[in-house]
């Protein structure tokens, strides 16, 4: 049986601010925004061409709210692969994205860690070409 990750839920404070960050700052595509109830929407975004999507899940209670930005316990949570590290790095920096460490060349490629609007840590990576 073939399997793959389809989407990953990420806790957000508000749908519209999260959509704005992912689509206007990181240039992700808005795949779906469906109203489910007065308080819940089904919102999916993803990098162009990606088969794995982020489900933007608005925190529904205090416990979930306390986990916004901390879903990986302070470790890097998500890994954004690119074929143009320096172009994306400059674009994101110009749009106010906070990078927590200088870019570095590692055995697997060029990488730097950035923080999203809620504090989740991401690696921006351009893998080595094989």
* Per-residue pLDDT tens over the stretch 12-36: 999 999 999 999 999 999 999 999 9
Pairing of the two strands 53-58 and 7-12: parallel
The alpha-helical segments, DSSP class H, found in the chain are: 15-20, 62-67, 85-94
The model carries a pTM of 0.93
Could you tell me the domains of the chain? Answer: 1-68 (3.10.180.10), 71-130 (3.30.720.110)
Query: For 103-112, what is the mean pLDDT?
Result: 97
In tens, the pLDDT along 75-88 reads 999 999 999 999 99
pLDDT of residue 98 exceeding 90, the answer is yes
The alpha-helical segments, DSSP class H, found in 10-116 are: 15-20, 62-67, 85-94
- In the prediction, which pLDDT does 93 show? 98
């Amino acid at each position: 049986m073939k399997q793959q990750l389809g989407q990953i839920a990420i806790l957000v404070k508000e749908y519209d601010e999260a959509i704005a960050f992912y689509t206007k700052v990181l240039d992700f595509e808005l795949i779906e925004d469906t109203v489910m109830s007065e308080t819940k929407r089904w919102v999916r975004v993803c990098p162009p061409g990606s088969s794995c999507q982020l489900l933007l899940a608005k925190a529904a209670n205090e416990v979930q709210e306390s986990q916004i930005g901390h879903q990986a316990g302070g470790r890097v949570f998500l890994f954004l692969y690119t074929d143009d590290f320096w172009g994306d790095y400059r674009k994101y920096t110009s749009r106010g994205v906070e990078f927590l460490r200088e870019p570095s060349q590692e055995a697997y490629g060029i990488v730097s860690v950035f923080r999203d609007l809620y504090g989740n840590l991401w690696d921006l990576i351009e893998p080595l070409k094989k």
